[in-house]
Structure 1
């Protein structure tokens, strides 16, 4: 289901959880911009931005800093992404499963991005999740929910005792105990990081899986390609944004680098983006603005650290860009208790 709508099955369990903590789920749904009926009907199409708002509102109202993790305990990737899961279940190994998810996630929704970024010097990689530009800044609960669902799917394939090598969160360490975080992800929890991601070692990625059959995989591939024909008019910009988000914390995010990752010439990428009504510099700027807002809202990284992640040579350049994006000085946008 391409676009910025997702199935309301992602809300399953929220009604009971909130009621058990003295809340009125329908009221919170309306405040978030969701139809209250979506809490009980898993097949409604609802705005992804409203779901992000609902997760954040629900966490605050119920006093549950681990709301996303609690909701993820009963969520299944198959129910969330529908037909795309048929393709994943026929992957030959974990690396191919991750690649298929990355390559086809936009068939589920354009409101988030999944990436698999190899780490230098080894076979390990980061399986990352992030909202796209234009969504809510408050992605903390959804980030933890999404990583927990991905970890649960891998645990089904790799055994109940499997844990990722580490888990990275862009947001600051939540208040209170991390008991549920450790139960879901293991002990290596890293906050205030560049990305939201599961760190998967090479042995995990190379673990063979048992696909149903070659015929089943071929059928699943055809089904996915049929869906892909109903391509978004902004498909190239969406793919370029995914690469920009993956590259930005680790390497110079130039037009040439992004074009190389997409397998096209820089001029070709420019022309495609122009046809879709944008340009590379504008797209990169929009991603920087989006990430800056998320880091400032959810992490405790200092402005200089955020500017460095976003590719600015000095804090002054970052501050100038931030004022251009938001019309306010950076120091006025910081959450209380964070570094200037």
Structure 2
């Protein structure tokens, strides 16, 4: 794996379509504007094309300059449609709740940007989406992060069918000349020069059932999104770790040291590489067991007891408690549920 991952990162090419519409609203020719930063207009018509991250950042900086609009990133985000996010956008609309849509975004964040590390967390009555810290690379422009924040707000409102304002927004960017525009466009209190970039909603507001919820459609688009991700994601240490975890699980949950030895690296090197990829060994171990549990339980002839032992649990009761903690359902109930996801 390359030590300079920034050279390999990319952004969905369809993200250029809302930017093009925003440029038109400002009276500019989008194809000419994009060509000025080296983007081939012919590639925009390819829905599977991905923009190298440095080129996307250069485009956002150029758009701010030529429009003389410091809030251009938010303006572009207001033009986002579900298809901008490929299958993820349609899966988001078909989610049971806005919260489920946000979970899908965090799960498939690398579809949007391979450098993205998004996390959901709860703080009291709030659910926070943490977009991580901005890249410490030359040429980065905060309009890219404005676009991301605005896109999330836009998709939440599209899913609900009504405007859904975040309770708070924290941005790493320095205060703009007109900070009130950010608060107006996001309909939220916005703090600048923060240590992180995140936005939060009241948990009760985003747990309301959506009338457009369709579990079967959401799962189908999840599968399409995962297939797309698998087609382009770079080789990763995390993927190697998951492969080794799967091999070891029938003998019991492996330790990080065991996996490091299997990959012929030191424990410290493995921990460092996983941290660079925005994950940890324990996160991968738990997620792998959960995903395999779901897969095994989809087979009606496989018992909960057999599934428990295949996943390295010493007792079925221990597995049942863990599965209920992960999903809120007992394994047997999940297996028998017609809407299991």
Q: CA shift at 1:108, angstroms? A: 4.2
Distance change (3 Å), C-alpha of 1:143 and 1:133: closer
Q: Please tell me whether residue 51 in structure 1 is matched to residue 53 in structure 2.
A: no
Q: Please tell me whether residue 150 in structure 1 is matched to residue 152 in structure 2.
A: yes
Q: Is the 8 A contact 1:110 1:238 kept in 2?
A: no
Equivalent in the alignment of 1:195: 196
User: Partner of 1:55: helix, strand, or coil?
Assistant: helix
Residues 248-267 of structure 1 aligned to structure 2 (within 5 Å): 265-267=255-257
User: Partner of 2:199: helix, strand, or coil?
Assistant: strand
Which of 58, 64, 76 is the equivalent residue of 1:71?
76
Q: CA shift at 1:90, angstroms? A: 2.9
Q: CA shift at 1:269, angstroms? A: 6.7
What CA deviation, in whole Å up to 9, does each residue of 1:113-137 have, x standing for no partner? 3221222xx2422213257758665
Q: CA shift at 1:143, angstroms? A: 0.9
Which of 122, 140, 147 is the equivalent residue of 2:142?
140
Distance change (3 Å), C-alpha of 1:62 and 1:282: same
CA RMSD of superposed structures (Å): 3.9
What CA deviation, in whole Å up to 9, does each residue of 1:202-246 have, x standing for no partner? 212322224544433443344344445545411618999xxxxxx
Q: Quick one: distance in 2 between partners of 1:184 and 1:239?
A: 42
TM-score (norm 2): 0.61
Q: CA shift at 1:112, angstroms? A: 2.2
What CA deviation, in whole Å up to 9, does each residue of 1:185-205 have, x standing for no partner? 124111111222211222123
Equivalent in the alignment of 1:168: 170
Q: Quick one: distance in 1 between partners of 2:222 and 2:86?
A: 14
What CA deviation, in whole Å up to 9, does each residue of 1:304-326 have, x standing for no partner? xxxxxxxxxxxxxxxxxxxxxxx
User: Partner of 2:198: helix, strand, or coil?
Assistant: strand
Q: Is the 8 A contact 2:83 2:90 kept in 1?
A: no
User: Partner of 1:199: helix, strand, or coil?
Assistant: strand
TM-score (norm 1): 0.62
What CA deviation, in whole Å up to 9, does each residue of 1:267-288 have, x standing for no partner? 367566949xx6434675899x
Equivalent in the alignment of 1:337: none
Distance change (3 Å), C-alpha of 1:138 and 1:159: same
Q: Quick one: distance in 2 between partners of 1:83 and 1:11?
A: 17
Q: CA shift at 1:164, angstroms? A: 0.6
Q: Quick one: distance in 1 between partners of 2:16 and 2:173?
A: 22
Q: Quick one: distance in 2 between partners of 1:285 and 1:88?
A: 28
User: Partner of 1:163: helix, strand, or coil?
Assistant: coil
Equivalent in the alignment of 2:131: 129
Q: Quick one: distance in 2 between partners of 1:238 and 1:141?
A: 35
- Residue correspondences, number: 257
Equivalent in the alignment of 1:10: 15
Q: Quick one: distance in 1 between partners of 2:143 and 2:30?
A: 16
Q: Quick one: distance in 1 between partners of 2:108 and 2:98?
A: 15
Distance change (3 Å), C-alpha of 1:26 and 1:165: same
Q: CA shift at 1:6, angstroms? A: 3.3
Residues 1-340 of structure 1 aligned to structure 2 (within 5 Å): 4-12=9-17, 14-15=19-20, 17-18=22-23, 29-30=34-35, 32-37=37-42, 41=45, 43=47, 44-76=49-81, 78-119=82-123, 122-130=124-132, 138-176=140-178, 178-179=180-181, 181-210=182-211, 212-227=213-228, 229-230=230-231, 232-234=234-236, 236=238, 265-267=255-257, 270=260, 274=265, 279-281=270-272
Q: Which runs of 4+ in 1 moved over 6 A?
A: 237-240
What CA deviation, in whole Å up to 9, does each residue of 1:14-66 have, x standing for no partner? 4565477676756653553422445x636343212211111012212332111
Unaligned 5+ runs, structure 2? 1-7, 243-252, 279-341
Whichever of the two has the greater Rg, that structure is: 2
Q: Quick one: distance in 2 between partners of 1:266 and 1:205?
A: 36
Q: Quick one: distance in 2 between partners of 1:118 and 1:239?
A: 28
